[in-house]
C-alpha cells in the first residue's frame, strides 16, 4: 500500500530550517477562525484554495477523511482545544499537542499547506499554555520523520521532538 504524502511542504521546512522562502502562517491563537485566516495568508490574494477546506477526496490512504467530513471534524478538534486545561508540565503538554497535531493531519483539511498550518497551530497551542515552541532546532530530517510518523497515526516521535523544544515563557 502506498502512503500518501500528507502536506508535503518542503519549501516551508526549508524556510523554517534555512534555505527556503515560504513563511509559516501567522496564527495568533489556537482557534478555528485563526487557523483558517492563517492558511489564507499562505496563498496569493484572492486564492480560492487558501483559507477554505478542500472539496475533493484524496486517494492513496484510508486514513484521511472524506471532504464532506472536514467541517464536523475540525469543529470537534477545536472543541477539544477549547476544553484543554492549563498545563504546567512540558511533557504532558507535548503529548497533548502531538495528539492534536496528529488529529489535524488526519483531517487534512486543505489541499496544501497542512503541515505548515499544523505547525503554526501547535505553536499557538503552546503559547496559550505559556510555553515557547522552537521548531528551528529540528533538522530537516528530524522534522520530516516526526511529521510523517504523526501523519501515519504515531505521535511518540513528534511528542519527543516537542518535549525537548518546549521552554516556559
Mean pLDDT of all residues belonging to the chain: 84
* Reported confidence tier of residue 5, pLDDT bands at 50, 70, 90: very low
Element (H, E) at 132: strand 131-133
Question: What CATH superfamily is the domain 10-168?
Answer: Fido-like domain (1.10.3290.10)
What is the per-residue pLDDT for 3?
Answer: 27
57-88 pLDDT, tens digit each = 987 665 678 999 999 999 999 999 999 999 99
- How many CA within 13 A on the CB side of residue 27? 28
What is the per-residue pLDDT for 46?
Answer: 86
Buried b (16+ CB within 10 A) or exposed e, 67-103: beebeebbeebbeebeeeeebeebeebbbbbbebbbb
Q: Which of 76, 74, 120 is nearest to 97 (CA)?
A: 120
What is the per-residue pLDDT for 155?
Answer: 92
Domain boundaries, the chain: 10-168
* CA gap 162, 91 in Å, rounded: 9
Amino acid at each position: 500500500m502506498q502512503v500518501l504524502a500528507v502536506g508535503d511542504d518542503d519549501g516551508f521546512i526549508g524556510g523554517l530550517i534555512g534555505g527556503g522562502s515560504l513563511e509559516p502562517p501567522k496564527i495568533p491563537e489556537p482557534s478555528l477562525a485563526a487557523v483558517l485566516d492563517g492558511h489564507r495568508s499562505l496563498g496569493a490574494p484572492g486564492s480560492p484554495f487558501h483559507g477554505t477546506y478542500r472539496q475533493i477526496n484524496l486517494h492513496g490512504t484510508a486514513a484521511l477523511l472524506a471532504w464532506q467530513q472536514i467541517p464536523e471534524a475540525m469543529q470537534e478538534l477545536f472543541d477539544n482545544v477549547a476544553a484543554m486545561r492549563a498545563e504546567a508540565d512540558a511533557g504532558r503538554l507535548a503529548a497533548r499537542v502531538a495528539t492534536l497535531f496528529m488529529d489535524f493531519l488526519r483531517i487534512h483539511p486543505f489541499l496544501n499547506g497542512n503541515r505548515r498550518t499544523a505547525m503554526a497551530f501547535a505553536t499557538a497551542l503552546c503559547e496559550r499554555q505559556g510555553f515557547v515552541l522552537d521548531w528551528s532546532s529540528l533538522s530537516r530530517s528530524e522534522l520530516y520523520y516526526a511529521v510523517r510518523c504523526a501523519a501515519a497515526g504515531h505521535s511518540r516521535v513528534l511528542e519527543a521532538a516537542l518535549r525537548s523544544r518546549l521552554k516556559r515563557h
